Structure 1
């Protein structure tokens, strides 16, 4: 608890984190790329097998959703896969949000933020607590049985010049009991450089001073690895020296 920060404030949550399972012979592991390697699985029967199966199925779903987004931009269905997600950086987290001891206070399970990559595919439990920022203010995103919540990430915002906007969201657990959520992050390859796509409609009217981190994704230069490590160093202070 309190080991992860959002905008410098501790999150009221705990989690276990997974990525693509890579053994020591994989080139990315040999190159000692951060966020690449073997997972640390708890000793629970069928847990490892279940997680790896989920990662595989959700990766396939990520490719499908991104192909539909490509078609919506009048691009080839394989546009993103050919350029950015042939070897996607995938992350899966299991979060537990305990009941908020100060329901009327300023504590948050996770404070306002946007996700870093292309697409987040979230499975929630039945308790609610997720809020999304719309043009009219904060609204609830209640759980719908047998469905996912899909968040647009910063890199899709950048690639489409603001046509698809990354989604500010936050969590406050007012249910009185533990809330569990399962976000899967489908992100560009670690070494991918993301430049704006030439599309017919573009809508950069972003005021970075109004954004949660006072930065603009459209002013960023570098690889996705550079971007995500810069964010990770702020979210996990104890990892700062290891990833930068």
Structure 2
């Protein structure tokens, strides 16, 4: 394995000026400048001063651990195959793929709670609908929905700073491609295990990948294991992004890379649980609406920038800049590779 660098390469940013509506314009611009620098240089950053209730985070983490401690047959009562087009529910260890290899993690797929009368649900839109919540532990449903509301508010605040960093109005994203954002949430448990798989390769909790959308806000427990591919100083190497108390670690995804013509880059990352115990991870994905057309944006900070072809450098050898269409088009193609059997079932339902 390559040498691992330090957390210094992933900046820590206090974003309270973006979260607090009473903050002055100068304070908001100062935070925005730091966010812009992080998006250009590493694609990853920690946020503190985010205003998300600590007691809520602690409650959700405790309930999540109780769920994963249940017998497998009880967890499978809400397996993803029962979620239909909404693509929600539980999957066991090895049930999700990255680059065709099974991940060493189990998880619960969740998202915005939408009833049967919502227009997108009635239209049979994939990844939209009700969540599958377990009967035990009691209170998980309420904690998840409260957390989703809090992180959605934070997501809009961070995107206002990213808009400012590009020389745009603060509400550029909220009034445009993220006016009706696609909010997806995962609760993952990475069990302890051997350091290598049967083929001698590291037993990755999740292998090298980039995220698909615009912004990921991650709560990780104290076990650590997240690694980020750094290009600072022209040297490509992996750096640890360990947990920092009171923070979330954030990263930008393929669609922000696409919209900024590669100036803000989606950065590969991976997870290897070396702690000897379970690792809990809660990634929140804050992305464009399903029907939003994703294209490069005309921002003052991007004028004169020509998109560079970078597919040869990307983990999957595919260019996000060649993509044309809606975010739903992009996401369905990507997620279908993660759950190929489920994708076939979902497509057959949507076509019938």
TM superposition score category, shorter chain reference: over 0.9
Unpaired runs of 5+ residues, structure 2, are: 1-92, 348-352
Aligned counterpart, 2:313: 210
Aligned residues of 1:4 and 1:11 also touching (Cα < 8 A):
yes
Where do residues 63-212 of structure 1 align in structure 2 (5 Å cutoff)?
63-103=156-196, 105-135=201-231, 136=235, 137-199=237-299, 200-201=301-302, 202=305, 204-212=307-315
CA RMSD of aligned residues (A): 1.3
Aligned residues of 1:12 and 1:97 also touching (Cα < 8 A):
yes
* Counterpart Cα distance in 2 of 1:189 and 1:230: 16
Aligned residues of 1:100 and 1:172 also touching (Cα < 8 A):
no
- Return the index of the structure with the highest Cα Rg: 2
Aligned counterpart, 2:13: none
* Counterpart Cα distance in 1 of 2:118 and 2:128: 9
* Counterpart Cα distance in 2 of 1:23 and 1:95: 25
Task: Please tell me whether residue 23 in structure 1 is matched to residue 115 in structure 2.
Answer: yes
* Counterpart Cα distance in 1 of 2:226 and 2:306: 27
Alignment: residue pair count: 244
* Counterpart Cα distance in 1 of 2:345 and 2:311: 29
Comparing 202-211 with 40-49, greater Cα deviation is found at 202-211
* Counterpart Cα distance in 2 of 1:34 and 1:196: 25
Unpaired runs of 5+ residues, structure 1, are: none
Higher helix share: 2
Aligned residues of 2:261 and 2:308 also touching (Cα < 8 A):
no
Structure 1 stretches of 4+ with a deviation exceeding 4 A read none
* Counterpart Cα distance in 1 of 2:266 and 2:343: 25
* Counterpart Cα distance in 1 of 2:326 and 2:310: 23
1:12 to 90, 104, 118: 104
Task: Please tell me whether residue 231 in structure 1 is matched to residue 334 in structure 2.
Answer: yes
Shift of 1:206: 4.2
Shift of 1:57: 0.7
Aligned counterpart, 1:219: 322
**SS of aligned partner of 1:106:** coil
Shift of 1:163: 1.4
Aligned counterpart, 2:68: none
TM-score, normalised by the number of residues in structure 2: 0.67
